[in-house]
Amino acid sequence: MTILLNNDGYWHDKYRAALAKHLPERKVVEFDDDYDKADIEYALVWKHPDGDLPLYPNLKAVFSLGSGTDYLDAHKALPTAPIFRLIDPNMADDMALYTLYWIIHFQRQIEVLRQQQRKAIWQRYPTPLAHEVKVCVLGQGAIGGHIANVLSRNGFETFGWSRSPKSLDGVNSVVGLEALQTVLPDMDVVVCMLPAKPLTHKFLNKDIFERMKKGVSLINISRGSVVDEDDLLSALNQGQIGAAALDVFAIEPLPKSSPFWGHPNVHVTPHMSGATNADTAVEIIAQNIKLFEVGTMPNYRYEREGI
């Protein structure tokens, strides 16, 4: 049995080492290798070329090397074999810690203190306690829900918005667009964890920004397409959005000409809030392959649908 590996060309050495560790009996080929498509039974892929996977006649299952599905949604041709998203608790923890870092940064006015340090100014400011800071996490899927739980456990008053009801300990569930518009004016921080879907394209736009509390902080760790970047820049320039931590953008890498780079109230990171760890990812996939081979369907099967 042969495994096809294509992580869009990145970190294949790490994935090969992890596959040798967790699936030592399996042969591994990379997309650019010379191999017989009939030999491939499992594919581990990220941003694989559209139309290729249906050409593997003995393909049993596809394991995506990430939780996002926008590249799959864009494919015109998908295999009949089931496709599974990667939900790695280690990735979810990383993204939760990234979010927690920036919320504390905004809560404690760290940027003000950094500016003071450059000028050798010793001055303290009163800052709110965690339970006085209201945070809304947009998107309550497997990772968004985990982030909301972590924020709640750290004392922040946490709200989780989704289109269907969710029940998470310590998280105030907000359901539907009308309810979101009602709570947004009270939020101090808004965290975007919405998937890239037709329903979410430029969901965060002028209308949504204007409903937020003036000076709100925004954290986006989902996909750049969810934000209307022109509207966000306008909201930042007008002070409607007080600060933004942006890990994802409509075009990546972020062009050097982008005004986000030099904006005084924007913090840019290079899509690293929750990078996939090859070893833990392959360990999960190896467990799922073993489940699949004894007739048990793994969790997080991909389906084409809205949020």
Quote the CA–CA distance of 134 and 136 in Å, as a whole number.
7
What's the confidence (pLDDT) of residue 304?
Answer: 79
Helix segments in 108-215, DSSP class H = 110-118, 142-153, 177-183, 206-211
Indicate the residue type of 89: P
In 3D, which of 158, 150, 155 has the Cα closest to residue 134?
A: 158
Domain for residue 74, yes or no? yes
The answer to whether residues 150 and 251 belong to one domain is: yes
What's the confidence (pLDDT) of residue 307?
Answer: 39
Catalytic residue among 146, 223, 301, 304: 223
The answer to whether residues 34 and 104 belong to one domain is: no
Copy the structure tokens of residue 114.
């950094």
Strands 134-138 and 241-246, by their bridges, are unpaired
Domain for residue 301, yes or no? no
Active-site annotation holds for 267: no
The answer to whether residues 107 and 177 belong to one domain is: yes
Name residues of the chain where pLDDT drops below 70: 305-307
The answer to whether residues 55 and 121 belong to one domain is: no
Q: Tally Cβ neighbours within 10 Å of residue 100.
A: 17
Please count the structural domains in the chain: 2
The answer to whether residues 76 and 96 belong to one domain is: no
The answer to whether residues 140 and 258 belong to one domain is: yes
Any idea what DSSP says for residue 164?
S
Catalytic residue among 114, 131, 271, 301: 271
CATH of the domain at 167: 3.40.50.720
The answer to whether residues 75 and 202 belong to one domain is: no
Domain for residue 151, yes or no? yes
The answer to whether residues 184 and 70 belong to one domain is: no
Per residue in 102-121, is it b (16+ CB within 10 Å) or e — as a string? bbebbbebeeeeeeeeeeee
Domain for residue 252, yes or no? yes
The answer to whether residues 51 and 137 belong to one domain is: no
In 3D, which of 66, 75, 70, 96 has the Cα closest to residue 200?
A: 70
Copy the structure tokens of residue 32.
């650019």
Active-site annotation holds for 153: no
What global pTM score does this model have? 0.92
The answer to whether residues 148 and 33 belong to one domain is: no
Domain for residue 160, yes or no? yes
The answer to whether residues 160 and 61 belong to one domain is: no
Domain for residue 38, yes or no? yes
Domain for residue 306, yes or no? no
What's the confidence (pLDDT) of residue 306?
Answer: 42
The answer to whether residues 285 and 240 belong to one domain is: no
What's the confidence (pLDDT) of residue 305?
Answer: 64
**Domain that residue 110 falls in:** 89-268
Domain for residue 282, yes or no? yes
Beta-ladder partners of 220: 192, 246
